[in-house]
Amino acid sequence: MIDHGFLRELRAVTKERNIALIFDEIQCGLGRTGTLFAYEQVGVEPDMITLAKPLAGGLPMGAVLMTEPIAAAMQYGDHGTTFGGGPFVASVALHVLDRLSDPALLEHVRATGTWLGHELNEIAHRTSRIRQVRGTGFIWGIDVMGTAAHVVSEAMAHGLLVLTAGEYTVRILPPLVATKEELARGLHILEEVL
């Protein structure tokens, strides 16, 4: 997670100098952190947000949300898009947004994500292979001794899908509907691999 104080100071500087503050929430937005948008946890409102990946449930679609002053500065043709969405994809995105903004789902991600972070830190205390655990909700990274690619490969061989996020970071992005029981099975495999 980025330091919240840094983002607040950045917001103050951009306001003072009349500079647009743009947040990329393509991976961390749309419920992944336990709020619809990750910026909501920081208390810093951007001028523009980019969204994509989960927006249309796997169908190709991207979006840019912006404040009224930014939108007023845009002219027809200033912004084009490859995956802006036709009627079908846009209707899917509306359904996805309806589901992802469900307070019960977001509370599940917050509560279960807190538990997941605690469990990852417990694993870190039991093994010397983890240097750092960071994240929130259902987006976590663990910095490992050795390469992340090796851990990802071993995890895959044992039935667990995790990703790399650089040379030494294993990225954990469970489905937003994952239960503690499902996550516990994955954590058990991860600990064995480590």
pLDDT tens, 43-87?
Answer: 899 999 999 888 988 888 888 899 999 999 988 877 777 766 688
Name the pTM for this structure. 0.88
pLDDT tens digit sequence for 23-44 = 999 999 999 999 999 999 988 9
Contact 109, 137 (CB under 8 A): yes
Stretch (H or E) spanning 49: strand 48-51
How far is it, in rounded angstroms, from Cα 35 to Cα 109?
8
Same domain, 56 and 90: yes
Residues near 51 by beta carbon (within 8 Å), at least 6 away in sequence:
25, 26, 29, 30, 62, 63, 64, 65
Domain count, the chain: 2
Range of the domain at 95: 4-100
Asked if the model's pLDDT at residue 2 lies above 90, the reply is no
CATH of the domain at 41: 3.40.640.10
Domain match, 34 and 120 both: no
Residue 157: pLDDT band with limits 50, 70, 90:
very high
What lies within 8 Å, CB to CB, of 171 at 6+ separation is 139, 140, 141, 162, 163, 164, 165
